[in-house]
Amino acid sequence: MADSSDQGAVVSNKQVIFRNFISGFPKESDMFVATGPVKLKLPEGSRGVLLKNLYLSCDPYMRILMTPKNEGSGEVFAPYAPGSPVSGFGVAKVLDSGHPDFKKGDIVWGITKWEEYSVISAPEILFKIQHTDVPLSYYTGILALPGLTAYAGFYELCSPKKGEYVYVSAAAGAVGQLVGQFAKLMGCYVVGSAGSKEKVDLLKSKFRFDEAFNYKEEHDLDAALKRYFPEGIDIYFENVGGKMLDAVLLNMRDHGRIAVCGMISQYNAEKPEGVCNLMNVVYKRVRMQGFNVFDHFQQYAKFLETVIPYIKEGKIAYVEDIAEGLESGASALVGLFNGRNIGKQVVVVARE
């Protein structure tokens, strides 16, 4: 129960508001910054928490929430409410708590809102951060959902074996950079693709992929994949969809596996692109599996035990693209969809 002896100061609360549902690519003007008041104290009897938001995560799935719910998109993805703040994953500090599991000063990560201060009425969905000897912003990426996505997606769905040929699209992104490094640690041959020379250089130099290429410079993706995978692809970690998936299907090896993490190329499409080469799923006995990290939370503790030592020992590199302040939030989020970010896109609201 919140302490009622102190009524709490009322301060201004900057917010990033979602204007209205969109079609096509998101634009900065689809969001705007507004300021309202917030009392730095929970109302008496609240079982929630009051958060000071520190780091906000920009993730591709957020585009899906900018379209009214369609029957296809399932329960996991509830659309944004026009006129309300954008929501998403973030790292925050607990300022006040009415919930027995959280106390003032705790650092947490989980679903919060794009604003300076948020009241979370059901804080059971938040994770308390135990290891604070790594940058806290990592809990929007490598130590949060993108990290767990890469971990569960690669180790569980892809059934990787040493020496296998692994291809990662959107490889410089939050998930892709980790999948490639997990695959290297396992002894796989790893090729990544990304959309700029800078990202390609990063994949090879920083993330130690065996090869990398700029898909925008390849007029024939099938030919590019044949160049990098003359023996074919055992594992494809799918972040892109559309034409890329079609080219990959032509290059899968027998009993290949495709973990379908997302299809960022399709989120902004009015009508999704047709994928024509699915017959190869039969020819090559391919297993193609969609997944959602929400089904893998039970592995989170084991995941942290594995990955935090990797980070501390320098076995895994991690690159973030940090945007300063809520004012830069819309631009940072929009940038995801034209590939402007290099590494995990984070928005800093406050550093402590």
Binding mask 62-81 for its own copies (x = CB under 8 A): ---------xxxxxxx----
For the segment 93-112, give every residue that binds its own copies (CB under 8 A).
none
DSSP state of 294: G
Of the listed pieces 38-46, 108-116, 189-197, 288-296, which binds its own copies according to CB under 8 A?
288-296
Residue 150 or 304 with smaller CB distance to its own copies: 150
- Find where tokens 């009622």 sit: 4
- Burial label, 39 (beta-carbon count in 10 A; 0-12, 13-18, 19+): middle
Of the candidate residues 98, 173, 195, 262, the single one contacting its own copies (CB under 8 A) = 262
Residues contacting its own copies: total by CB under 8 A: 40
State the CB neighbour count (10 A cutoff) for residue 5.
Answer: 5
Note whether 291 binds its own copies by CB under 8 A.
yes
Of the candidate residues 266, 268, 299, 331, the single one contacting its own copies (CB under 8 A) = 266
Note whether 280 binds its own copies by CB under 8 A.
yes
Q: Distance between CA atoms of 86 and 326, rounded to whole angstroms?
A: 11
Of the candidate residues 196, 289, 299, 331, the single one contacting its own copies (CB under 8 A) = 289
Note whether 284 binds its own copies by CB under 8 A.
yes
Least distance from its own copies to the Cβ atom of residue 282, Å: 4
Among candidate residues 129, 108, 135, the one with its CA nearest the CA of residue 50: 108
Q: Are 28 and 330 in contact (CB under 8 A)?
A: yes
Residue 68 or 309 with smaller CB distance to its own copies: 68
Q: Distance between CA atoms of 88 and 57, rounded to whole angstroms?
A: 7
Q: What is the largest CA-CA distance in the chain?
A: 71
Q: Distance between CA atoms of 199 and 212, rounded to whole angstroms?
A: 9
Note whether 278 binds its own copies by CB under 8 A.
yes
Least distance from its own copies to the Cβ atom of residue 271, Å: 7
Cα distances (Å, whole numbers) of residue 93 to 87, 108, 114, 157, 350: 16, 6, 14, 34, 10
Least distance from its own copies to the Cβ atom of residue 284, Å: 6
Of the candidate residues 131, 197, 285, 302, the single one contacting its own copies (CB under 8 A) = 285
Note whether 45 binds its own copies by CB under 8 A.
no
- Find where tokens 């949060």 sit: 144
The sign one gets for the Cα dihedral 140, 304, 206, 235 is negative
Q: Distance between CA atoms of 224 and 216, rounded to whole angstroms?
A: 11
State the CB neighbour count (10 A cutoff) for residue 8.
Answer: 17
Residue 187 or 272 with smaller CB distance to its own copies: 272
Least distance from its own copies to the Cβ atom of residue 232, Å: 10
Of the candidate residues 279, 298, 305, 352, the single one contacting its own copies (CB under 8 A) = 279
Note whether 277 binds its own copies by CB under 8 A.
yes
Question: Where does this chain bind its own copies (CB under 8 A)?
Answer: 71-77, 241, 245, 249-250, 254, 260-263, 266, 271-292, 295
